[in-house]
């Protein structure tokens, strides 16, 4: 019996439904499920067009991989696709419990390792200590720098963001259950509302996660209802992704500042949120609380994991003054899997528990 079970084989399944093969990773506790095979071709002349096509025609792939019973409501995924940009090594579509993100920093950190280890970029020359991986995200081209040894990833990864900028500061919104609340809105590849948890009567470090989620979600819905998000490059990027509650420690300090990100459909990021760190640094630069090349540590209140970040140079995004932000963190592999479907399974496309 032991020798028979040791031979890998698939259980009974619908032969007409492609097997979805994946590699699972995590960055600071936040999962990433990378699709290796089984996703039908994603059509479209541009990455944003491919994102629209996937949403309209292939959403069952997202649901099967993100939802229970194969995933959970906080699962995150990536589908790799060709890019129209000549400098890109790969293009990526990000998947979550509600749909498709424009940027994901924890995923970029993991994909940097994955791209090097799985041969998606040229093998680095002998003695190279850091490999460059150009990843085309829906928000634009993001460059990851992967620490390596003997041609394999080894150690942390850092990335340089798209131009990050502040859309609004000191925006007063009426949040049900909390009254008038002042928030800031900044972009780090995706738009976030930022507010100190203390303003909502919560301690970021000791409050129950459910209470933080409820408060952050209330802020998100209030901002969506009362403020129009605009992006100078594309309407596809003009949406509020979520709310990041902070410890209010925006002025520079050597100690980590703590936050929690609640995005999509009340999904909780286990990491400090790479695109959120990007946006928060842009906000701190905008307010004069941080200088170029001044590094800060950002800690997740969910897991205690830490990313570091700094603004490395000034940039522009439309008429907005912007910065390019470098974010660093550590990703790890957790396993591989092959997901199948049986044709008589009424829950073949998954479900979500709330």
Q: Is the predicted pLDDT of residue 2 greater than 80, yes or no?
A: no
Fold of 20-160+333-339: Diaminopimelate Epimerase; Chain A, domain 1 (3.10.310)
Contact assessment for residue 153 and residue 128, using Cβ atoms and an 8 Å cutoff: no
Q: Is the predicted pLDDT of residue 8 greater than 90, yes or no?
A: no
- CATH 3.10.310.10 residue ranges in the chain? 20-160+333-339, 162-327
**Percentage with pLDDT > 90 across the chain:** 95
How much is the pLDDT for 353? 86
**Percentage with pLDDT > 70 across the chain:** 98
Looking up tokens 């829950």 gives 347
Q: Is the predicted pLDDT of residue 6 greater than 90, yes or no?
A: no
How much is the pLDDT for 4? 54
Among 2.40.50.320, 3.40.140.10, 3.40.47.10, 3.10.310.10, name the CATH number for the domain at 162-327: 3.10.310.10
Over residues 30-54, the pLDDT tens digits come to 999 999 999 999 999 999 999 999 9
Work out the pLDDT band at 354, boundaries 50, 70, 90.
confident
How much is the pLDDT for 264? 98
How much is the pLDDT for 5? 58
Contact assessment for residue 279 and residue 192, using Cβ atoms and an 8 Å cutoff: yes
Cα–Cα–Cα angle for 46, 47, 52, rounded to 5 degrees: 95
Q: Is 172 exposed, middle or buried (0-12, 13-18, 19+ CB in 10 A)?
A: exposed
Contact assessment for residue 327 and residue 159, using Cβ atoms and an 8 Å cutoff: yes
**Does 139 qualify as catalytic in the annotation?**
no
Over residues 192-202, the pLDDT tens digits come to 999 999 999 99
Q: What average pLDDT does this structure show over 260-278?
A: 98
How much is the pLDDT for 295? 98
Contact assessment for residue 58 and residue 40, using Cβ atoms and an 8 Å cutoff: yes
pTM of the model: 0.96
Set 104, 137, 139, 148: catalytic member: 104
> How far apart, in whole angstroms, are the C-alpha atoms of residue 73 and residue 214?
15
Q: Among positive and negative, which fits the CA dihedral 289, 295, 296, 302?
A: positive
How much is the pLDDT for 179? 97
Cα–Cα–Cα angle for 200, 204, 207, rounded to 5 degrees: 85
Over residues 200-243, the pLDDT tens digits come to 999 999 999 999 999 999 999 999 999 999 999 999 999 999 99
Q: How many CA atoms lie within 13 A of 322 on its CB side?
A: 22
Looking up tokens 């995150």 gives 76
Q: What average pLDDT does this structure show over 313-322?
A: 98
Over residues 289-306, the pLDDT tens digits come to 999 999 999 999 999 999
**Rg of the chain over all Cα atoms, to the nearest angstrom:** 20
The whole-chain average pLDDT of the chain stands at 96
How much is the pLDDT for 297? 98
Over residues 117-159, the pLDDT tens digits come to 999 999 899 889 999 999 999 999 999 999 999 999 999 999 9
């Amino acid at each position: 019996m032991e020798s028979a079970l040791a031979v890998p084989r698939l259980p009974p399944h619908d032969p007409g439904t492609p097997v979805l093969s994946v590699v699972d990773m995590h960055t600071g506790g936040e999962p990433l499920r990378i699709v290796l095979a089984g996703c039908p071709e994603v059509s479209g002349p541009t990455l944003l067009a491919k994102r629209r096509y996937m949403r309209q025609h292939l959403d069952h792939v997202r649901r099967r991989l993100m939802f229970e019973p194969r995933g959970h409501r906080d699962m995150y995924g990536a589908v790799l696709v060709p890019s129209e940009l000549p400098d890109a090594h790969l293009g990526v579509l990000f998947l979550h419990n509600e749909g498709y993100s424009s940027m994901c920093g924890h995923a970029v950190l993991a994909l940097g390792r994955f791209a090097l280890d799985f041969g998606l970029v040229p093998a680095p020359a002998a003695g190279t200590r850091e490999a460059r991986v150009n990843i085309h995200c829906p928000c634009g081209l993001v460059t990851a720098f992967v620490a390596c040894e003997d041609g394999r990833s080894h150690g942390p990864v850092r990335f340089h963001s798209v131009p990050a900028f502040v859309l609004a500061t000191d925006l007063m919104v009426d949040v049900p259950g909390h009254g008038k609340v002042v928030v800031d809105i900044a972009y780090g590849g995706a738009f976030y509302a930022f507010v100190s948890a203390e303003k909502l009567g919560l301690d970021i470090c000791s409050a129950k996660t459910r209470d933080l989620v409820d408060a952050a979600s209330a802020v998100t819905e209030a901002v969506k209802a009362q403020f129009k998000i605009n992006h100078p490059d594309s309407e596809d990027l003009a949406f509020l992704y979520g709310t990041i509650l902070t410890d209010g420690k925006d002025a520079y300090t050597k100690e980590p500042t703590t936050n929690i990100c609640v995005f999509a459909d009340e999904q909780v990021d286990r990491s400090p949120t790479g695109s959120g760190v990007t946006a928060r640094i842009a906000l701190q630069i905008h307010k004069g609380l941080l200088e170029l090349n001044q590094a800060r540590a950002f800690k997740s209140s969910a897991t205690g994991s830490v990313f570091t970040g700094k603004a490395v140079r000034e940039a522009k995004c439309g008429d907005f003054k912007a910065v390019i932000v470098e974010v660093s963190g550590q990703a790890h592999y957790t396993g591989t899997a092959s997901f199948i479907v049986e044709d008589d399974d009424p829950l073949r496309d998954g479900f979500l528990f709330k």
